[in-house]
Amino acid sequence: MKRLFLITIIFSCTTFTGCKKLLDIDSSHAVSEENFWNSHEDTRTALVAVYGLLRAAMADNNAWWMYGELRKGDFYALQRQDMKAIIRNDLRAAYPLLESLSNWRRFYAVINAANMFLEHVGEVKARDPKYSEENMRVDVAQMRCIRAYVYFFLVSVWGDVPLITSSHDGEFENKPREDKQTVLAFVEKELVQSAADLPYKYSADDPQQSGAYYNESSTRWYGVLARKHTAYAILAHVAAWQGKYVDASVYGQFVLDNYSKGGSYYVGTDELVSGNGFFKWKKDNHILAFNFDWGHVDASFSGHLEEMTLAEPVINKALPDIYVPKDTILSVFDQPVDERFSLDTLTGVPTSQRYFSNFNSQIPIFSKIKVIQDGNTSDPSFRIYSSTIVITRLENIALLQAEALAVIGEQQRAIDLLNTIRDLRRIKRYDAVREGDLIDAIFRERRKELMGEGWRWFDLIRYNKIKQNDPAFMELIAKGGIYWPVADEVIKQNPLITQNPYWQ
């Protein structure tokens, strides 16, 4: 039987609509080996497909937020019992959503597509004289970078995971779970090596990518592809996750020294929260993100935070699925004149509601992210969204760097970075006498700045590993309760896979 390539299936997933079905069933839309990997058009198709698959994996069931925002976080669920189970860390509760989220298959589909690209890209180089050595080098670096990021995410969610670096052209061999430290060592090596070959921008005469990348202008690639500072930003996150804060500070500093080369800048509050601002479509200022471009007919009803958080008066929906309670808002946003949210303590009236609408109602609406249709409409009758899933941005890296510097004892540099973000949001600079511990202050700022961006749970883990002053959380870490259970379907299909002990 001819080996078949699933490239066209993968390519179909570059538009999220219908991707769940495509990931769950076999398809007849495969391409035989001799009809693929012949030209640079094939490599472009396959490369973009990998990004599309990863976007689909993060958007399916709103996975990015389910994994990173809800567990023991600031959001409460109003009626959804499955979301309530995630929030209270009851991840073996019998709900289809939890069973689906426990299945890592969609992420291994990304890895398999990247592996397949890396195995076959040399064939295109041999067959198509238009496919240059430089083009191939940049493409390979992207695939290694994205594959490494997926493995980092898998480890963050499940701990030990199978490490698969070859596709076998779709004929999978059962493999056991690899120790997470081994996987992360592979991740770091791949990211360092790929960073060396990645440009800061595409189609912008970067020394490592000259000319028009795949005959497209630079605007086509804004914030779409992995770049040099993308790899270093991921490296900073990987090192911090492992508690290797000296390494994290080195990688983070590279991003802070070079972000402008990639088009990044610190975002003002109005741009951050505008429907026509930071979260709209693709931008160079997205260090790593997956966009839903309205102009490319990518908008969707699901796979966006707005699906869960928006309600009246922003859209025609009586109540949101999740919300941040008033008591939490007031305890978190406790600084006067904070542009994100602040309250006049004398009158009880909000002086800024950029993060929250309808605060004086029983259920405040988290409206920080609200890219409805093309981002230019405020008509509440529309409930289709085109916001970007932003994995990391400059402010995230600045606060991560502050965290790293504080841990390794470089207090003043950490304070300076913390104050960089505070200055952006117009709140008072850090005062050790008034506020106490610097690490606490940095994590409080991350909680405010990154609310709704999928980082709360992972921040809680790092914070507790540093402070070690919450016995219940430390027990959760020690017993592996910070990870998700592995889906029963995965274990049934591969007897070499064992369940996380905490969830047995």
pLDDT one-digit tens code per residue, 146-180? 999 999 999 999 999 999 999 876 666 789 999 99
pLDDT band at 383 (very low <50, low <70, confident <90, very high): confident
Q: Is 280 helix (H, G, I), strand (E, B) or coil?
A: strand
Going by pLDDT thresholds of 50, 70 and 90, the confidence category of residue 452 is: very high
Which CA distances in Å does 108 have to 50, 161, 190, 214, 462?
11, 10, 17, 27, 26
Q: Are strands 356-357 and 365-366 parallel, antiparallel or unpaired?
A: antiparallel
pLDDT tens-place string over residues 91-118: 999 999 999 999 999 999 999 999 999 9
Query: What is the structure's pLDDT at 169?
Result: 62
340 has a pLDDT exceeding 90: yes
pLDDT exceeds 70 at position 10: no
**pLDDT above 80 (res 365):** yes
Average pLDDT over residues 197-214: 97
Q: Which domains does the chain have, with CATH numbers?
A: 37-197+486-503 (1.25.40.390), 292-387 (no CATH), 392-475 (no CATH)
| Residue 17 half-sphere exposure toward CB, CA atoms < 13 A | 11
Q: Could you please report the per-residue DSSP string of 406-469? A: HHTT-HHHHHHHHHHHHHHTT-PPP-HHHH--HHHHHHHHHHHHTTTTT-HHHHHHHHHHHH--
What average pLDDT does the chain have? 92
The pLDDT assigned to 410 comes to 98
pLDDT score of 292: 87
Instruction: Identify the bridge partners of residue 178 per DSSP, sorted by sequence position.
Output: 161
pTM, 2 dp: 0.93
Give Cα 260 distance to the centre of its chain: 21
Instruction: Give the pLDDT of residue 30.
Output: 47
Residue 34 has pLDDT above 70, yes or no: no
Mean pLDDT within 201-207? 97
Report the alpha-carbon angle 28-29-33, nearest 5: 100
CA 192, CA 360: separation in Å to the nearest integer?
A: 49
Count Cβ atoms below 10 Å from residue 480 Cβ, excluding itself: 15
- Asked if 161 contacts 182 with a C-beta cutoff of 8 angstroms, the reply is no
**pLDDT higher than 70, residue 423:** yes
Res 366 pLDDT > 90: yes
Mutual angle of helices 394-407 and 438-449, in 10-degree steps: 170
